[in-house]
């Protein structure tokens, strides 16, 4: 079974974050793909991606309209889209990752989309 990681988040973190999570999980189940989804909602990060989660994955879907620290996925294939794309087209996003259509993120590569503020993750600062 293929395995992927997803991260969802929206500025308010009330509805779209969790709608995207549900849509991705439902699509993954139908496609027989194992998925772990980290949500970045109003109450903070839930189901956080751990280094062990990144082993043997086909890739990462970042469906967010806020900074979700994409630098931690350096060296992995990543698709980065607005959160609404995961709500409306989850199967297409999953298939792109599974079919090798995701772009590999390189160290110190800027995010594919401009985000609004600076954040800190571990010992790295990510400027957006």
Number of domains in the chain: 1
CA 47 to chain centre: 12
From the candidates 10, 57, 58, 86, give the one annotated as an active-site residue. 10
Rounded to the nearest 10 degrees, how much is the dihedral formed by the CA atoms of 83, 89, 95, 100? -50
Are the C-beta atoms of 80 and 111 separated by less than 8 Å? Answer: yes
> Which three-class secondary structure state does DSSP give residue 77?
strand
Q: Which residue is it, tokens 């009330």?
A: 14
Domain residues for 86? Answer: 2-126
- Per residue in 104-123, pLDDT tens? 877 555 555 444 444 434 43
pLDDT digits (tens, 9 = 90+) for 93-107: 999 999 999 998 775
Is residue 31 within 8 Å of residue 94, measured between CB atoms? yes
Q: 10 an active-site residue?
A: yes
| Model-wide pTM > 0.85 | no
CATH of residue 82's domain is 3.40.50.2300
């Amino acid at each position: 079974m293929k395995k992927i990681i997803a991260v969802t988040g929206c500025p308010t973190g009330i509805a779209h974050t969790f709608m995207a999570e549900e849509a991705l999980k439902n699509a993954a189940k139908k496609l027989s793909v194992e998925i772990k989804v980290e949500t970045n909602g109003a109450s903070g990060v839930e189901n956080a991606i751990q280094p062990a989660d990144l082993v043997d994955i086909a890739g990462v879907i970042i469906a967010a309209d806020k900074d979700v620290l994409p630098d931690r996925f350096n060296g992995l294939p990543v698709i980065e889209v607005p959160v609404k794309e995961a709500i409306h087209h989850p199967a297409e996003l999953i298939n792109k990752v599974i079919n090798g259509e995701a772009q590999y993120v390189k160290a110190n590569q800027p995010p594919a989309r401009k985000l609004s503020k600076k954040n800190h993750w571990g010992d790295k600062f990510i400027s957006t």
